[in-house]
Structures are given as structure tokens and as C-alpha cells.
Amino acid sequence: MLLLAADTSGKQGSIALAQCRAGENCAVIEVVPLAGGTFSAQLIPQIAALLEARGHGKSDVDAFAVANGPGSFTGLRVGLAAIKALAEVLQKPIAAISLLEAVACSGAAHGRVLAALDAGRGDVYVGDCELDPEVRLHSERLLSRAEFLTEANAAALAGTAMVTPDAALAEAARISTSASGSSVKLIAYPDSGVIARLGWEHLQRGQTVRPEDLEANYIRHSDAEIFSKPKA
């Protein structure tokens, strides 16, 4: 199975092509970075170029995997719209992957793991994941920095690992958890190769969405939603 994955959730993005076989791990063939701010102009041409460079056409793609959030409102819309359109035309399945799930799986931790991402405005996205024997995402929340540090302390006391690609969050959590700071792991930001491997796991479990049902998981409301609410 030829799997195409995309992630446009952050300041930088990427696409990946992977070859997957039933009962085996998914082998990532190539990851192509995408510069932030120009996803809408780059995404489709880069997908076409990646497939052509590897001797494939769009019709050779058997399935798609895409990061559906949390992340940039504009970036997510671009990536999801492109994958939705391709999957609809080709009639292929889509695996929607939480970026917090990708963060949790990018470290060497096992068992219960807290994944954290800087959400801006003093907030933190936190995902509660179980990595054994398969990946299960129990919850995704938007916490204040104070709430996050309280959560990090509780996790450390319970022996739960915390992983994040954000150095400032890792340092704050290490200071807050003091003696238990070794449970905080700073990892590389996951790329679309991670999205592809997780997508393959979802596909094998039948966890797919139809193009018309593919939606972004922002967790936080957009400014337009917040400011359009009627005042009491």
C-alpha cells in the first residue's frame, strides 16, 4: 500500500510517502519539508513532484494520513482541504491523526504518556496517551500554564512520562517537578513520517474517515468564534 501523509499544523510542515504492508511496519520512503506561510501554494505541487520523483502518479496512492490538529487554524485548513479533495477524487481512505498523538509516539517512552505543545497565549495543549500495546489517545485538553505545571507534577509523582518538542515547556516542567524532572523528555518535532506510521496503524484498525467527515480538531476556538459570541 502506498500511503501519502501531510502535516501543515505548525509553522513548518511536511509531506511524506510511505510503503506499507499488512502485518509489517510502515517504511517511510521520503519526507519533504514545506516552508511555513506558503502551504497553500506549495502543497499540491510538492505532492505531485514527490510522486513523480518516485515514479508514481496520484492514482497509485492507496490511502492518506493527515495531521488534523491541534495547530494553526489557517495551516490546518490548507492541509485538510488538499487531502480531502484528493481522497474524494481517488475514492481512497483517510486516517486523521492528532498531533498530540504524534508527539507522544516520537519519544522513547512507553505506557502512559503526557504529550504537551505550546498553544500560545500562555496556554498548553496536553494529550493523555497510552502507548502499550497500541496507541490510544484518552483525552486532549487546552490548559493554562499553571494548570499544565500542576498536571506535570501529578504525572511525575505517578511515574508518567511527559514529552514535548518545546524547550521552554520542558524546562518549566523540569523545574516544577524538581526531583522528578527526569520524567520530562524533550523530543524533535514530529514530521509527516510520524503521521504516516500512525496513519498506517489507524488504517489497519479500520479507523478512517470519509472526505466529507474530515474536520480539523482545533481544541481552542478561533478568534472569530470567540469574538462573535453574543455578550450576556
Per CATH, which fold does 107-186 belong to?
Nucleotidyltransferase; domain 5 (3.30.420)
H helix or E strand, kind and range, residue 37: none
pLDDT of 221 reads 61
Largest CA distance in the chain: 59
What angle (nearest 5°) sits at the alpha carbon of residue 67, between those of residues 62 and 72?
A: 145
Q: What are the boundaries of each domain within the chain?
A: 2-99+190-223, 107-186
Tell me how crowded residue 57 is: count the other CB atoms within 10 A of its CB.
Answer: 9
Can you tell me whether residue 46 is helix, strand or coil? helix
Question: What string of pLDDT tens digits covers the 232 residues of the chain?
Answer: 999 999 999 989 999 999 999 878 899 999 999 988 889 999 999 999 999 999 999 999 999 999 999 999 999 999 999 999 999 999 999 999 999 999 999 887 788 999 999 999 999 999 999 998 788 899 999 999 999 999 988 888 888 889 999 999 999 998 887 645 568 899 999 999 999 999 999 999 999 999 999 999 999 864 444 334 444 4
Per CATH, which fold does 2-99+190-223 belong to?
Nucleotidyltransferase; domain 5 (3.30.420)
pLDDT of 104 reads 94
Q: How far apart are the first and last CA of the chain?
A: 54
pLDDT of 156 reads 85
- State how far the Cα of 186 lies from the Cα of 207, in Å rounded to an integer: 29
- State how far the Cα of 160 lies from the Cα of 110, in Å rounded to an integer: 9
